[in-house]
């Protein structure tokens, strides 16, 4: 049987993990969400494609369509948040702050923050480390080729970890779907 480099790498990695951690690995694997391995594989591929940049592996990005303005993006993000019952908890206009500090024009860099407080509380109760991911953020970045949107890959939260109990699982999925919709609609200018 022949294996490609990717398969051989995964087999080697899994062999090392099982050898080093023994039975606790098997116990942990049984507690994971269905599809966790497939999601880990997708992240691994993105990590390789990103030359080892972990941020590439753990985020979603969307190129904003030509003609869609920063103001359009802001309005769409806030509209989707309202439609999906997610609270707008703040905007951090970093490029404006840098302009004020330096007196020089800056490329656009704005962070939008959103939260569903009850889901956030339940998620942190489930795993206190999840607090580091709060609130949900979408960042608008101006690059040489135009505007881009970036957010955390929410599939990590709902597909890769320990099995979430109901109703937290459904709530987490709704947050994931809302962030996905925000990225999709804002990148296309769909009001």
Domain boundaries, the chain: 60-188
Determine the topology of domain 60-188 in CATH. TATA-Binding Protein (3.30.310)
Contact 77, 182 (CB under 8 A): yes
Average pLDDT score, the chain:
89
Residue 35 has pLDDT above 80, yes or no: no
Summarised one tens digit per residue, pLDDT across range 70-94 is 999 999 999 999 999 999 999 999 9
The highest-confidence range among 21-35, 43-57, 100-114, by mean pLDDT, is 100-114
Three state DSSP letters for 70-126:
HHHHHHHHHHHHHHCCCEEEEEEEHHHHHHHHHCCCCCCEEEEEEECHHHHHHHHHH
Weakest mean pLDDT among 34-43, 118-127, 137-146, 163-172: 34-43
pLDDT number for residue 161: 77
pLDDT number for residue 37: 78
Band the pLDDT of 27: cuts 50, 70, 90: low
C-alpha 32/C-alpha 67 separation (Å) is 43
More confident residue, 163 or 188: 188
pLDDT number for residue 40: 80
Residue 153 has pLDDT above 90, yes or no: yes
pLDDT number for residue 15: 63
Band the pLDDT of 46: cuts 50, 70, 90: confident
Summarised one tens digit per residue, pLDDT across range 59-69 is 999 999 999 99
Band the pLDDT of 156: cuts 50, 70, 90: confident
The residue behind tokens 């404006």 is 96
Work out the number of other CB atoms within 10 angstroms of the CB of residue 176.
19
């Amino acid at each position: 049987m022949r294996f490609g480099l990717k398969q051989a790498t995964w087999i080697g990695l899994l062999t090392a993990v099982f050898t080093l951690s023994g039975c606790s690995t098997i116990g942990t694997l049984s507690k994971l969400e269905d599809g966790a391995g497939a999601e880990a594989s997708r992240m691994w591929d993105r990590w390789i494609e990103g030359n080892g940049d972990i941020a590439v592996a753990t985020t979603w990005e969307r190129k904003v369509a030509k003609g869609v303005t920063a103001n359009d993006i802001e309005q769409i993000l806030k509209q989707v948040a309202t439609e999906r019952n997610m609270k707008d908890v703040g905007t951090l206009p970093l490029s404006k702050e840098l302009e004020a500090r330096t007196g020089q024009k800056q490329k656009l860099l704005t962070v939008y923050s959103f939260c569903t407080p009850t889901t956030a509380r339940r998620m942190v109760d489930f795993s206190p480390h999840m607090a580091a991911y709060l609130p949900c953020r979408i960042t608008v970045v101006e690059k040489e080729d135009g505007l881009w949107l970036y957010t955390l890959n929410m599939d990590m939260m709902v597909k890769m970890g320990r099995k979430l109990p109901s109703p937290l699982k459904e709530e987490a999925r709704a947050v994931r779907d809302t962030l996905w919709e925000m990225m999709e609609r804002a990148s296309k200018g769909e009001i």
